[in-house]
Structure 1
Amino acid sequence: MRRAAKPQQGSRIIFGPRIALDALIRPDKEHRLAKTLSWPHLIALGVGAIVGTGIYTLIGVGAERAGPAVILSFVIAGLVCACAALAYAELATMIPAAGSAYTFSYAALGEGVAWVVGWSLILEYSLACSTVAVGWSGHAMGWLGAVGVHLPHALLVGPSGGGVVNLPAVAVALAVMGMLIAGTKESATLNIVLVVIKLVALAVFVIVSLPAFQSANLHPFMPYGFAGTEQGGMKRGVMAAAAIVFFAFYGFDAVATSAEEAKNPGRDLTIGIVGSMLVCTGIYMLVAVAAIGALPYGILGGSSEPLALVLKTLQHPLAAHLIELAAIVALPSVILVFMYGQSRIFFVMARDGLLPRGLAKVSPRTGAPTRITILTGIAIAIIAGLFRLDEIAELANAGTLLAFIAVGACLMVLRKRSPEMPRLFRCPAPYVVGTLAILGCLYLLASLPTMTIVRFLIWNAIGLAIYFAYSRDSSEVRRAG
């Protein structure tokens, strides 16, 4: 069981008690996650989450909002995520417990902040899964349509798109839920195979499309300017696009949620978090340059399958079909990783008493939290079935940006408060990196559409109401203190 450190004067009223760093995890067998993951599993989890809908689908959305400068948007989003990744790596190896930014915040900033971060992570992971499920549906229907199989429009989009439900998106979400119920190690091993398929497909795309690069497609490079501004009912500009394609980079934080299940967390988490970010940043730069150079951004921005569109335009129909097929086969790995992360956040919050503790039981056969996985899978399937991809991705980004801000703050607070604690990975220049992560994420958050920010504030208002009505009084840390 976790116990609280004695809070500083006034912190119990404002932020709530903190978890003692020397007693972070002491769960009983019924609430303990099994240690089944090694570093190849963790790198695959990170790459599996990062390389997904963001590069297969959102590169088109980014091009629509920034023009050729979407390449710069990828660079900016990648730099912000790199700062956050360094902070995550230090904290995850220092605090090898499930829960990621939620657990770090509980230890460094107090229960109130931890609740807001955890509630935002629920938004991040749930909507990230749903976004990828909707993206997968577009790829699957495009591929099936090419071979003469068509579903009614009403079963391909939700009510906001004039349909009833996105049935393929619902189906893939529930299928991934079933894989996770089968067990963490089995799911992670399957994920490695799916990640290899995705990387091979992207390599084929770059090899085929890069020779068609035309510098004329990069002019004008920044047609909508740098800062995000409202134009034609849409927020456009390099930063507006960065706030969207930011979705394409995060996923390494899902590796941090697996800390409790890592066999050798000190080594494996560092390799998993930093390694997955390095691999994916290189991949994204190559793919973005190849796509924008091969096709005018105006055409690219109007497609839900931009990479396949590039290959079809270049008269490579077989390669286009293979890219679409790879996306259909491999994009579920992204859903798998984010659904995994969501279930672990739910699990730890329930174990801490902030959500009903009965949800925190693990299966005696697999060591995985079956109840919470089923609840997570059903919620994600409902969201994916009813909403559009762009609406979901923007709101998911808001939750992630708040979590990254908290992690940057946790890095600096724990360096100051607990300098003696062993750190198996030490972030270089922690106060500079932490500050850059916070400022970068605040700028990206402000660059999101106004309606997205309003919805995010409403979500957190609901969360705070639940916290003060139920979670605050049922907290295990408060009871132990």
Structure 2
Amino acid sequence: MFGPRKSLDSVTKHAEGHALAKTLSWPHLIALGVGAIVGTGIYTLTGVGAERAGPAVILAFAIAGAVCACAALAYAELATMIPAAGSAYTFSYAALGEKVAWVVGWSLVLEYSLACSTVAVGWSGYLVGWLTAAGIHFPPELLAGPHAGGIINLPAVFVALGVMGMLVAGTRESATLNIILVIIKLVALGVFVAFALPAFDGSNLEPFMPYGFGSTEVGGEKRGVMAAAAIVFFAFYGFDAVATSAEEAKRPGRDLTIGIIGSMLVCTIIYMLVAIAAVGALPYQQLGNSAEPLALVLRSLGQPVAGHLIALAAVIALPSVILVMMYGQSRIFFVMARDGLLPRSLAKVSPRTGAPTRITLITGIVIAAVAGFFRLDEIAELANAGTLLAFIAVGACLMVLRRRAPDAPRLFRCPAPYVVGTLAILGCIYLLFSLPSATILRFLAWNAIGLAVYFAYGWRHSEVKRQALPA
């Protein structure tokens, strides 16, 4: 019903010229995770979340983090058990079958490509704010897409293409640069908390839940804690990008566990501190209307220099998120092509760098185009839908493989796997249906297109099916 499954033995065996080079160790993987997680979500979606939930955006961050923690535990077990590129797509292929794997992979394409585009748009907002504060002005038509009365968001396009160039240069070089960018981001957020937390005013938290807990329609917009959780959820994922690097990890058993769980712990602590400091220092109504809420808080507190530096740090360091997400996107495409579900010619790696150059170029151009013409909030919501489906699949894979392959080596064992897997699935389903109806319809349309592509090409060229045919 769900198509053929890959055997656990075959998942890590690849033809010459189609295997990725092992170049990453655990510091690179933690930085990949933190680099992906700490980005537009905390720098810009803090304001979007405050608009939807009021001060209870703090609670929205906690709920989204709890759901992601369950998914992270499942990812850690599966990534160390199946150390191959492809993350949730590869896990689903081994546990649930080819058709489910295709839907998950197609959804991951949506997740990573739109996440990259969202961050590029957020980066553009910080760049424009920083340049304007410095007295530098550009034509507004080149700073926003058609939805905002412009022609194209040129800064977003440029940053996407620049990151693409870095990835083409090689995985290890990109990952090392990412470590530097991550350090800049963490220092900047530490500076923000140090300035904003002393200005905490309890009256800014009243009323704490102006739109209630559940996700409800208010004035044509989804409001409430769960509506905010469904959007700030974007701020947490990124640890799954670590799982896409499994094939390139030098010691996957140790390195992947540290990378996935370590990055989630670090980022959850950071997010709670930043959210409390931001909402406590400034009324949520002001935060909700800003494309650069953290810099706005500092400027409102009479710290223009610190606000300027925070915005500059975002401009310098947010490209690390684009780098990690584009990296993850290219690996998903690469593995789908290697499996024959997309043209296998795309699954070639560079003899010099051991990275999939061709697929990276295609990925970067598509991401730049989306970033140039679409709105940040709509992109983020649609990216979240793809991620939530992938997390649901990973929760199911965890439980299916515990039952189907109980004795398979597991270098990290998720505690209470059936409880964790069930909580991940139920939490993600709830968040998925907390998204706007239009987003869910777009997501269904995207997967309808994906299934058409699969039946037109993928199922006839599947490498697993080909190998199963009698000689």
Q: Same fold (TM over 0.5)?
A: yes
**Corresponding residue of 1:3:** none
CA distance in 1, matches of 2:436, 2:148: 19
**Corresponding residue of 2:155:** 168
SS for the counterpart of 2:217 is: strand
Matched letter for residue 472 of structure 1: W
**Corresponding residue of 1:341:** 328
**Corresponding residue of 2:146:** 159
Q: Verify: 1:31 aligned to 2:46, yes or no.
A: no
Matches within 5 A, 1:138-287: 138-287=125-274
**Corresponding residue of 1:86:** 73
- Aligned-residue offset at 1:280: 0.2
Matched letter for residue 41 of structure 1: H
**Corresponding residue of 1:367:** 354
- Aligned-residue offset at 1:468: 0.7
**Corresponding residue of 2:463:** 476
CA distance in 2, matches of 1:145, 1:342: 33
**Corresponding residue of 1:6:** none
**Corresponding residue of 2:419:** 432
Mapped contact 2:142–2:151 kept (Cα < 8 A): yes
4+ residue stretches of structure 1 with deviation over 3 A?
none
**Corresponding residue of 1:327:** 314
Q: Verify: 1:68 aligned to 2:61, yes or no.
A: no
Q: Verify: 1:419 aligned to 2:406, yes or no.
A: yes
User: Alpha-carbon deviations, 1:13-61, whole Å to 9, x = none?
Assistant: x200000012212212210100000000000000000000000000000
Mapped contact 2:157–2:371 kept (Cα < 8 A): yes
**Corresponding residue of 2:447:** 460
Matched letter for residue 137 of structure 1: S
**Corresponding residue of 1:101:** 88
User: Alpha-carbon deviations, 1:272-320, whole Å to 9, x = none?
Assistant: 0000000000000000000000000011111110000000000000100
**Corresponding residue of 2:386:** 399
**Corresponding residue of 2:371:** 384
CA distance in 1, matches of 2:54, 2:101: 38
TM-score computed with the length of structure 2 as normaliser: 0.99
Q: Verify: 1:317 aligned to 2:304, yes or no.
A: yes
User: Alpha-carbon deviations, 1:317-350, whole Å to 9, x = none?
Assistant: 0100000000000000000000000000000000
CA distance in 2, matches of 1:114, 1:307: 39
Matches within 5 A, 1:6-25: 14-25=1-12
Matched letter for residue 330 of structure 2: S
Please list every run of 5 or more consecutive structure 2 residues that lacks an aligned counterpart in the other structure.
Answer: none
User: Alpha-carbon deviations, 1:341-366, whole Å to 9, x = none?
Assistant: 00000000000000000000000000
CA distance in 1, matches of 2:149, 2:425: 39
- Aligned-residue offset at 1:170: 0.1
Q: In percent, how many aligned pairs have the same letter? A: 80
CA distance in 2, matches of 1:388, 1:156: 12
CA distance in 2, matches of 1:354, 1:223: 48
**Corresponding residue of 2:122:** 135
**Farther-moved stretch of structure 1 (140-149 vs 111-120):** 140-149
User: Alpha-carbon deviations, 1:410-448, whole Å to 9, x = none?
Assistant: 000000000010000000000000000000000000000
CA distance in 2, matches of 1:431, 1:113: 20
**Farther-moved stretch of structure 1 (14-23 vs 278-287):** 14-23
CA distance in 2, matches of 1:87, 1:26: 23
CA distance in 2, matches of 1:238, 1:147: 36
**Corresponding residue of 1:306:** 293
- Aligned-residue offset at 1:161: 1.4
RMSD of aligned alpha carbons: 0.4
User: Alpha-carbon deviations, 1:218-254, whole Å to 9, x = none?
Assistant: 0000000011011011100000000000000000000
CA distance in 2, matches of 1:20, 1:423: 16
CA distance in 2, matches of 1:95, 1:200: 35
Q: 1:353 aligns with which of 300, 315, 340?
A: 340
**Farther-moved stretch of structure 1 (145-154 vs 170-179):** 145-154
SS for the counterpart of 2:17 is: helix
CA distance in 1, matches of 2:38, 2:206: 27
CA distance in 1, matches of 2:368, 2:277: 33
Matched letter for residue 470 of structure 1: Y
Mapped contact 2:12–2:82 kept (Cα < 8 A): no
- Aligned-residue offset at 1:103: 0.0
Q: Verify: 1:58 aligned to 2:36, yes or no.
A: no
User: Alpha-carbon deviations, 1:373-406, whole Å to 9, x = none?
Assistant: 0000000000000001001000000000000000
CA distance in 1, matches of 2:93, 2:14: 16
**Farther-moved stretch of structure 1 (112-121 vs 150-159):** 150-159
SS for the counterpart of 1:405 is: helix
Matched letter for residue 275 of structure 1: G
CA distance in 2, matches of 1:145, 1:373: 33
SS for the counterpart of 1:30 is: coil
Matched letter for residue 248 of structure 2: E
SS for the counterpart of 2:207 is: coil
**Corresponding residue of 1:47:** 34
TM-score computed with the length of structure 1 as normaliser: 0.97
SS for the counterpart of 2:222 is: strand
User: Alpha-carbon deviations, 1:155-199, whole Å to 9, x = none?
Assistant: 111111111100000000000000000000000000000000000
